Structure 1
Amino acid sequence: MLPPLDAAVPASAEIEALLTASVGAPTTVERIEPLHRPWVLRAHLAGATGPPETVVVKCLRPEGYGLRSAEELTRCEHAALAFIADDLRLDLAPDLHAAAPDSRMLVLEDLYPRTELAELLHQEGHTPALDAELTAFATSMGELAAASVGRAALFNARRTALGTGADRLGDWEHAHIGLWRSGLARAAAFGVPLPAAAERDLEAAVAELADPGPFLALTNGDSESHNFLTGPGGGKLIDFEGAGFRHALTAAACFTVPGPNWLGVSGPGQVEAFRRALARTVPEAEDDRLFGFGLAAASMVWVMTRADRLTTLDARGPGDDSRTQMVSLLESGARTAEVHRVLPHLAAWCRSTADLLRRRWPDTDIDTTAVAPYTWRER
């Protein structure tokens, strides 16, 4: 069931005025269709020659999330879409047709009938065709990173012009919202504290993300397959509310360790596609040592972020997929570090913690490497 429209949704007249001013021709909204969130809707336009037949309107959320207020989320998306189209000249994201002066309402290109890649994976499983789409997704993120390297000041200037204060421009931590700290504390409370050597590995991973060096690039801040729409006309990246300049390989970690929806991910082919695209402007991406450490660091910080859920999952009953997902997450993080021969003590902690969970939660004692990639977490 679609969520109802609420008082925060703009009236047709507001959308009409914004589009009319933008395209220089009278625009009439025929009807408004709510989409998957109350603050996202589709406006059907009547017989105008300037704008398209439909547009997507994003409004101010009821509240913010992570490190950003609701107002900062829309300002950031406004800045990112303009930056990608006008400064980077990339056709990787929806066009921004119009924006309110305070960024509280954005009118975007309607990408229908494209579909979320995550939805297709959920419905069809990991087919060869969808593996190709995953590769296109990885390539798009790599191309965005490659094109944006060295241009953080320009992006931040756009954010500042829209009202973002200088103290809000530091983005390196937003990809993981600092929750690795909570994960570290929760692991100790759960009875699996990190040994000193593993904690030093974690500190090294966090330091890598804090100082990306040549890998500083634009990511959308939520690099998961639900934010890639695929279909006629080619794939497009969406949802730039969390966009910012941070370590590029935080965008590739979704192919090495599972995000919230999945019990496992595919990995090597997509990582290599991302790497090839990034290496067009970042030669350091071809260095196995530098690339491997960055990828493992991003993967492990995500693992520690999700470790914040250990006590919550312990309270759930047998058969809850989230428990299996935690075991898979720990083991995939360890595999990533082991493949690249880095962070050995943190990898060992992941292995030992996964073993403990298998004993504590017997229903999770399965071969996680045999789980089909992109198996949906049902519960």
Structure 2
Amino acid sequence: MPVIKLVEWTRLEPWRVARARTDRGETVIVKWMGPHADGRRAEAWRLCTEVAALRFLAEDLRVDLAPRVLAADISAGRVILQDLAPRVALDGLLRSDGIAAHAVRLEAFARARGELGALTAGQAGLYYRRRADLGQVDPETDRLGRVARLREEGLSQAEALGVTISGAVEREFARALSELADPGPFLVLSNGDPETNNVLVRADGPTDARLIDFEFAGFTHALHDAVCLHVPGPAWMWVSMPAQPGGSAPLPQVAETYRRALATGVPQAEDDRLYGVALAAACVAFALTRLSRLPTLDGRPAGEDSRAQLVTTLEAAADTARAHHALPQLTGLCRRLAEALRSRWPDADVDIAALAPYTPRRR
């Protein structure tokens, strides 16, 4: 590990991350191992994955979409990364100023995610050779992701909501999971958490977007990375853009920005049928994974946004599938599940039409 003397630290809560100043007057980002809210992976595994993914991008592909690794000591559980300041997290800008003020930055985020897929398509072997040098890794686990979890849990929460699962739904569900499990040309690198908190942009001038947080990186179906542009993640109540934006300032067409960027390296993304089915499958898979939180949300106080958010998540997944003329059985299922939740939780019977894109979820 190169000698970098750190003389000043500023902890960046709540993660085990700090901004430090070196004896040469440079600022760097220091990450070290510690418990993570997502306990799927051991601490050492996550650090090895981040180092391998960032070096794969910067050194093997010479892609400037993420911070560079300046030094790493795996045994000590530390990595020193390039400081991307003055860039800041996009989610904070959207929360403070709203979408209209940062439409260009939101499009830059979508473009960066598409470019990550385009530039890494076909490069899984190169990445996993680098990753294996740092410790054991299972490419199949990365590829399957939430598909494996859904195969295990299936549609069990539908029973709790009194929603009947027909044979047609089960068959289409199996086909959707098979689509995601076998990406073919859509097999690309993802950082594993494609949300707006994991992209840094400049608040003024050129956006110059950079993706961060590659602890859960791996090669998986590219359309998992597009879900966040259609279906609200944990931070938002709604994200989808209206087909015909109203008002004086048009809203950014982030979904098309992502698709065009991905198609530069994955030309199959231009095929409406292939893209539509895969996107619908990824959105429904995400929504059904979130539905597994039903027992937890049942125990929360009435009026908590997390309940209404689960409703909007299911309905956004259904809207996306319908817009792409894909998975009609699962589209109907998501709508029935959302209706059941509205009945179960009267406080979650929200008017989606009143929600602007990137309406924050209150904590």
Q: Output the TM-score relative to the length of structure 1.
A: 0.87
Give the match for residue 156 of structure 1. 128
User: SS at 2:360's partner residue?
Assistant: coil
Structure 2 residue ranges without an equivalent (≥5): 244-252
User: 1:209 and 1:169, CA in 2 relative to 1: closer, same or farther beyond 3 A?
Assistant: closer
Residues 73-112 of structure 1: pairs in structure 2 closer than 5 A:
73-102=46-75, 104-112=77-85
1:170, distance to aligned residue in structure 2 (A) = 3.3
User: SS at 1:97's partner residue?
Assistant: strand
1:186, distance to aligned residue in structure 2 (A) = 2.6
Residues 175 and 250, structure 1, Cα contact 8 Å, conserved in 2: no
Task: Spell out structure 1 runs of 4+ moving beyond 4 A.
Answer: none
Give the match for residue 326 of structure 1. 310
Out of 312, 318, 342, the position equivalent to 2:296 is 312
What is the alpha-carbon distance in structure 1 between the residues aligned to residue 194 and residue 31 of structure 2?
19
User: 1:176 and 1:126, CA in 2 relative to 1: closer, same or farther beyond 3 A?
Assistant: farther
Matched, 1:189 2:160: yes
Out of 200, 203, 216, the position equivalent to 2:174 is 203
Give the match for residue 116 of structure 1. 89
Out of 142, 146, 156, the position equivalent to 2:114 is 142
What is the alpha-carbon distance in structure 2 between the residues aligned to residue 235 and residue 286 of structure 1?
24
Give the match for residue 6 of structure 1. none
Out of 129, 135, 143, the position equivalent to 1:172 is 143
Give the match for residue 256 of structure 2. 272
Q: Deviations over 1:87-112 (max 9, x none)?
A: 11111101111111547211001122
Residues 147 and 181, structure 2, Cα contact 8 Å, conserved in 1: no
Residues 174 and 242, structure 1, Cα contact 8 Å, conserved in 2: no
Report the aligned-residue RMSD: 2.0
Residues 147 and 177, structure 2, Cα contact 8 Å, conserved in 1: no
1:175, distance to aligned residue in structure 2 (A) = 5.5
Give the match for residue 42 of structure 1. 19
Structure 1 residue ranges without an equivalent (≥5): 1-17, 21-26
Give the match for residue 245 of structure 1. 219
Q: Letter of the 1:318 partner, please give it.
A: A
What is the alpha-carbon distance in structure 2 between the residues aligned to residue 275 and residue 311 of structure 1?
36
What is the alpha-carbon distance in structure 1 between the residues aligned to residue 146 and residue 19 of structure 2?
28
What is the alpha-carbon distance in structure 2 between the residues aligned to residue 177 and residue 37 of structure 1?
30
User: SS at 2:292's partner residue?
Assistant: helix
User: SS at 1:172's partner residue?
Assistant: helix
1:224, distance to aligned residue in structure 2 (A) = 0.4
Residues 161 and 341, structure 2, Cα contact 8 Å, conserved in 1: no
What is the alpha-carbon distance in structure 2 between the residues aligned to residue 103 and residue 215 of structure 1?
36
Residues 174 and 221, structure 1, Cα contact 8 Å, conserved in 2: no
What is the alpha-carbon distance in structure 2 between the residues aligned to residue 350 and residue 38 of structure 1?
34
Percent of aligned positions with the same letter in both sequences?
46
User: SS at 1:252's partner residue?
Assistant: helix
Out of 209, 220, 244, the position equivalent to 1:235 is 209
What is the alpha-carbon distance in structure 2 between the residues aligned to residue 271 and residue 211 of structure 1?
23
What is the alpha-carbon distance in structure 2 between the residues aligned to residue 98 and residue 169 of structure 1?
29
Q: Deviations over 1:144-192 (max 9, x none)?
A: 1111111100000011011124x46531233567257447223323333
Q: Output the TM-score relative to the length of structure 2.
A: 0.90
Residues 117 and 265, structure 2, Cα contact 8 Å, conserved in 1: no
What is the alpha-carbon distance in structure 2 between the residues aligned to residue 149 and residue 110 of structure 1?
27
What is the alpha-carbon distance in structure 2 between the residues aligned to residue 111 and residue 169 of structure 1?
32
Give the match for residue 102 of structure 2. 130
Give the match for residue 8 of structure 2. 31
Q: Deviations over 1:24-55 (max 9, x none)?
A: xxx43212221123521121123x2xxx6111
What is the alpha-carbon distance in structure 2 between the residues aligned to residue 238 and residue 197 of structure 1?
40
What is the alpha-carbon distance in structure 1 between the residues aligned to residue 15 and residue 270 of structure 2?
43
What is the alpha-carbon distance in structure 1 between the residues aligned to residue 30 and residue 333 of structure 2?
46
User: 1:180 and 1:366, CA in 2 relative to 1: closer, same or farther beyond 3 A?
Assistant: farther
